[in-house]
Structure 1
């Protein structure tokens, strides 16, 4: 399914599925929801490339053609998977706005919830498409994450831009974390184990006299992280700097 994106789906068919009933069973007893949940489970256990209509059908112990009476193809299935996963984020549309700390506390909460979502569903980092059809959960997500910025002095475009910046930072750091876990799994070595086994060879080619700043900073970072990098630290450090900048923008709007 690696070559298949949500954008391969027919938008009209996806919209009808996304906003329709997911619990009405067909003749086989299947529902759209049961198919989608099986696909998500498969993606989380075996990776997105393992997801196909045939593999999902085998997991549900039904014939492949039974799935097509509910979901017309892989593209539409991916749209449904993404929107269903977004449904895990918030209990209701005002959940971010209820967090302490005003707009800043709300955006910290939004970042944490999206980070956790990617950690639970790493396949989303591969599957998410900027042209994915907006379903009910994706729409609620956007509304919920924008509401804390309402009335703070930003224009509508600035509100969207702030949210986009925060979510892009979360996605980037989550992707780094997922890549590190994948490499560790493939190599059978932690970052620290890999570094210890390769350090003698690396030291032969990296001269501290020639690269003094890189050597010093690299050593300090490696000792602090006990790894090549620390995605969780990158998330919190970058988020604080982003929100500091947003605070400056809001203050400028208030004074202006």
Structure 2
């Protein structure tokens, strides 16, 4: 496991030196992972690729765990770059961010192995997050829902990418495509008559021309968010910080916050 403090220093304060430097090490490690997978990346293999000794690498990076942190952030530059501008609308912006995310995983399949809940983010990771947050915020949703929307879309992209990466890995290792593999499962199909809905859908061609799971799923996710945005516009009696419904006041003007805590949080955000 990487030392989070050391990873933070490397990600945000790494200095470039002549000859062997951090940028060269990270690029070489990414190339190796792209070609052979994350398991092939070691300090020794990267050093050999660069023509240096393993000990020379340790003067720049403490070990593989921190190197993977650096690789991940460098790879994420494609999703950190500005996509569709604000004039395109929040939905188009989020869609572009999601598609860039899929491209990211397709270029670097090893990223699915490098993800985790406790990874120190670097500049590119934060820039990518900022890009998505900006798009979602322009929908007019309250802050807590903006964050939830970005988490939802990002989680969908990662899940879809994992399936694509796994399918590609199995096809490479077996030499048999996904559809070809299922077509050979005739002995299994002989046992499925007892499941009427599955059998009917199979007979009616439900599996003959499957929809692209990423395209179908992304549209449905964005449709759901769009419905949420419309509901928020209709319902003005929500906390402007957390999005919770505010009980109507017995008298006086409508409240902007559901609690004193949210009111104080809004004040701190304005002062920041």
The answer to whether TM tops 0.5 is: yes
- Which of 123-132 and 216-225 deviates more? 216-225
Structure 1: distance between partners of 2:113 and 2:44: 20
Q: CA deviation at 1:205?
A: 2.6
> Is 1:214 the counterpart of 2:214 in the alignment?
no
The equivalent position to 1:203 in structure 2, one of 176, 189, 201, is: 189
Cα 1:133–1:59 change in 2 (3 A) is same
Match of 1:4 in 2: none
User: Are the aligned partners of 1:38 and 1:56 in contact in 2 as well (CA < 8 Å)?
Assistant: yes
The equivalent position to 2:73 in structure 1, one of 80, 83, 86, is: 83
Compute the TM-score of the two structures, normalised by the length of structure 1. 0.85
User: Are the aligned partners of 1:96 and 1:145 in contact in 2 as well (CA < 8 Å)?
Assistant: no
Q: Which has the larger radius of gyration?
A: 2
The DSSP-based 3-state class of the residue aligned with 1:222 is coil
Structure 2: distance between partners of 1:23 and 1:218: 59
User: Are the aligned partners of 1:19 and 1:135 in contact in 2 as well (CA < 8 Å)?
Assistant: yes
Compute the TM-score of the two structures, normalised by the length of structure 2. 0.80
The DSSP-based 3-state class of the residue aligned with 1:9 is coil
Structure 2: distance between partners of 1:215 and 1:23: 62
Q: CA deviation at 1:103?
A: 0.8
Structure 2: distance between partners of 1:165 and 1:17: 29
Q: Which runs of 5+ in 1 are unaligned?
A: 1-7
Q: Which runs of 5+ in 2 are unaligned?
A: 236-272
The equivalent position to 2:38 in structure 1, one of 29, 44, 48, is: 48
The equivalent position to 1:255 in structure 2, one of 225, 231, 234, is: 234
1:182-226 Cα distance to aligned partner (Å, 9 max, x none): 111121111233233332x2233332xx2232123346343204x
Structure 2: distance between partners of 1:109 and 1:127: 23
1:48-74 Cα distance to aligned partner (Å, 9 max, x none): 111111111111121100100000111
Q: CA deviation at 1:151?
A: 4.1
Structure 2: distance between partners of 1:140 and 1:181: 29
The DSSP-based 3-state class of the residue aligned with 1:148 is helix
> Is 1:36 the counterpart of 2:26 in the alignment?
yes
Cα 1:175–1:22 change in 2 (3 A) is farther
User: Are the aligned partners of 1:98 and 1:106 in contact in 2 as well (CA < 8 Å)?
Assistant: yes
User: Are the aligned partners of 2:80 and 2:125 in contact in 1 as well (CA < 8 Å)?
Assistant: no
> Is 1:241 the counterpart of 2:220 in the alignment?
yes
**Count of aligned positions:** 234
The DSSP-based 3-state class of the residue aligned with 1:37 is helix
